[in-house]
Amino acid sequence: MNKYVINGGNRLCGSVDISGAKNAAVAILPATLLAEGPCLIENLPNISDVTRSLKILSEMGATVNVLNKSTVFIDTAHITSPLVPYEHAKHMRASYYFLGALLARYKTANVAMPGGCDLGARPIDRHIRGFEDLGCSVTIEPGGMIHASAEALVGNHIFFDGVSVGATINVMLAASKAEGLTVLENVAKEPHIVDLANFLNSMGADIRGAGTDVIKIHGVSSMHGANYTIIPDQIEAGTFMAIAAATAGDIVIKNIIPKHLESITEKLVKIGATVEEYDDSIRVFRNGPLNKITLKTLPHPGFPTDMQPQMTVLLTVAEGSSMIIEDIWDNRFKYASELRRMGADIRVDGKVAVVDGVPFLTGAPVRATDLRAGAALVIAGLIAKGTTEIEDIYHIERGYENFAEKLQSIGADIKTVYVPDRTIAPAF
Ligand code: UD1
């Protein structure tokens, strides 16, 4: 177990390179199962969710050769065990993408119920209904194993009753090799949906409309391997934008797609930051005070829920009273009690938080409750007076590549410290 120790108060200035997108990577890696030849995937982020996805593939029998820290060769020609066991699925939500990928390849899949960040109820009913609409039968066995199978996958017209990133990706994977045309309506439009569709098309799939409300998929009978470069991570970039604004710093954030950051830019400008956009980089700096705002999370292109905790930290030290409405998840303010320990004034009522700005936060021992909450606590530590110690940073390591090192390179006083196992041995 490691923890971060942060001495707050430094203005962070300089430039950082953004890694490949976690949420695209964890969809693209299972998608290599659809290829009948080898794939070369570039710009993979070096994070634990990627390591785990590669381990799942290699335990299935795929050849996985890591060529350098961001490039991997994957050949799924000889899969021997098309199964995702609980010991892997419990750590990451995206393990359920192996369902759609294995269904497409073998018309049968066994994947344990997924874990991941605890953000409230995370049902998978839309995934299951989508698979059923393609002709699959899906059962969840008593031990929590999801079993899906089909005699044949057959294209269909599917209207999702709510927008879901995961269900869109899963059904898109399965439909890529279904017979005939599948039309998916009311789909998610996040950048990683488009990235997965581009990857599948580069392998020979026929998918149109990703990034809009309707995706049309003409199923193909076979796909070939491909070389593909993953898009930059929208949320890692947004987190560094928030860090520049929070620390009154000046950071050039490189290797990004500015279009993916528009909703974040808009809110940061309202809060008081200056944002300059270039072709594949963005500069964020702040000289004046932080202003109160109202923030509501929404599916893309609205403000991303995965940036909500980081923005809340800025508002804890803004002038006046801000309101944050979490419209995606039922329980995404668990980190508020940790911020209160640092002196923040936050009241939470269900999916709404009201934040009254205080003059400053004070360093304290805190615990990362999930991935983005962990990133938010790092930002809080960077601006707090004194020392903040953040435990359970394994959550953060699931989604941020070399977070502490990147922060050090722009002037943060942050260290990763090993914490010995604190299990107390029984007295007798
Ligand atoms: C993905 C992201 C996650 C992000 C979320 C919303 C990945 C690996 N994770 O999660 O970081 O916070 O999108 O942008 O990409 N829902 C149902 N039934 C379902 C599926 C979802 O009711 O079958 C509900 C959820 O409870 C939630 C909403 O739909 O309220 C959105 O969830 P969804 O878009 O599916 O999120 P994930 O794909 O799990």
**pLDDT at position 121, please?**
73
- Distance from Cα 163 to the centre of ligand 1, integer Å: 8
Q: Which residues contact 407 (CB under 8 A, 6 or more apart)?
A: 12, 243, 378, 382, 414
For the packed helices 371-383 and 234-246, what is the interaxial angle rounded to 10 degrees? 20
Q: Does domain 22-229 have CATH number 3.65.10.10?
A: yes
For ligand 1, whether the C-beta of 328 sits within 6 Å is: yes
Fold of 2-19+232-418: UDP-n-acetylglucosamine1-carboxyvinyl-transferase; Chain (3.65.10)
Residue nearest to atom 15 of ligand 1 (CA): 23
Nearest atom in ligand 1 to 119's CA: 12
**pLDDT at position 281, please?**
98
- Distance from Cα 126 to the centre of ligand 1, integer Å: 10
Mean pLDDT by 10 residues, the chain (428 residues): 96 98 98 97 96 96 96 96 91 93 96 81 91 96 92 97 97 98 98 98 98 98 97 98 98 97 98 98 97 98 98 98 96 96 97 98 97 98 98 95 98 94 56
Strands 387-391 and 365-367: parallel
Query: Start-end ranges of CATH 3.65.10.10 in the chain?
Result: 2-19+232-418, 22-229
For residue range 391-416, list pLDDT tens digits in order.
999 999 999 999 999 999 999 999 99
DSSP conformation letters of 345-371: EEEEETTEEEEE--S--B--EEE--SH
The b-or-e profile of 76-93 (16+ CB within 10 A means b, else e) is: beebeebbbebebbebbb
Give me the torsion for CA of 287, 291, 296, 301, rounded to 10°: -30
Please name which of 252, 291, 242, 243 lies closest in space to residue 271, comparing C-alpha atoms: 291
Strands 157-159 and 2-7: unpaired
* Maximum distance among all Cα pairs of the chain, rounded to whole angstroms: 66
User: What is the rounded distance in angstroms from the CA atom of residue 78 to the CA atom of residue 39?
Assistant: 14
For ligand 1, whether the C-beta of 94 sits within 6 Å is: yes
pTM to 2 decimal places: 0.96
For residue range 9-53, list pLDDT tens digits in order.
999 999 999 999 999 999 999 999 999 999 999 999 999 999 999
Nearest atom in ligand 1 to 27's CA: 8
Cite the active site residues: 117
HSE-up of residue 318 (Cα within 13 Å, Cβ side): 27
**pLDDT at position 211, please?**
98
For ligand 1, whether the C-beta of 127 sits within 6 Å is: yes
Q: Which residues contact 124 (CB under 8 A, 6 or more apart)?
A: 96, 113, 114, 146, 166, 167
Nearest atom in ligand 1 to 26's CA: 8
For ligand 1, whether the C-beta of 263 sits within 6 Å is: no
Question: H/E element holding 191?
Answer: helix 191-202
Q: Token pair of 224, please?
A: 């070939």
- Distance from Cα 223 to the centre of ligand 1, integer Å: 28
**pLDDT at position 424, please?**
56
